[in-house]
Amino acid sequence: MNLYLTYTYKLVKSLSPSEKGYVKKYFNNQSRRQSSFIELIDYLDAVENINELKSNETDVLVKHTIISEDCFYALLNAIEKYHSSSSKEIRKNLNIIEILTEKNLPNQLDKVIAKSKTLADKEKKYNLYAEICDWEIAILGQKPPTEKTLKAFEQIFDSLEKRIGK
C-alpha cells in the first residue's frame, strides 16, 4: 500500500468536523482534479481502521492510491489556510510594505498600510499596529516637510498614543 495513502488516511482521521467541512468547501471551489480529493477524503473517513484500508484491493482503492500524494499535500495547504491567523496576514502585509517601499511605489503602499492598520486595530494587535506606523513614519520622513506632512505625522502619533493606552 502507498505510504501517502496511509499519511492521508491518518491526516483525514485527525481532522475536526469543522476542518473537514472547510477542506471540502475549499476543494469544491477548485479544479476538477481536486474534486476527486473530496471523494478520497470521504472514502478514507468511512474506513474504520488502517487494517481495513490495507486489506482492500478494489479498483477504487487503486484510483485513490494514484492521487493520494497530491491529495496529501493539497490537504495540508487547505488546513494551513484554515488555521491562518490575522497576525500572519498583517506580517505578510508588512513584508509587502517593505518591498513596495524599496520599489518606490507609494500609491500601492498607501492602500496596503491602510488595510494593515485597519486589520491590526480590529484584531487588537497593537504591537503590529506600531510596526506599521514605524513604516509609515519612515516613508513620511522621506517626503519634504510640508504642512500636510506634519499633520500626517501628528495623526500617526495620536493614533499610536490612543492604542498604547489600550
Digit-coded pLDDT (tens) for 134-153: 999 998 888 888 999 899 99
Domain span at residue 72 reads 3-82
Same domain for 123 and 68: no
Whether the model clears a pTM of 0.85, i.e. scores above it, the answer is: no
From 62, 82, 102, give the residue that closes a domain.
82
Same domain for 90 and 78: no
Q: How far is CA 99 from CA 77, 96, 105, 118, in A?
A: 25, 5, 9, 20
Digit-coded pLDDT (tens) for 53-77: 777 777 666 777 788 888 899 999 8
10-residue mean pLDDT profile of the chain (166 residues): values are 84 92 84 78 87 72 79 90 82 92 85 92 90 92 89 92 80
The closest of 96, 87, 132 to 114, measured between CA atoms, is 132
Mean pLDDT of the chain: 86
- pLDDT score at 11: 93
Contact 19, 54 (CB under 8 A): no
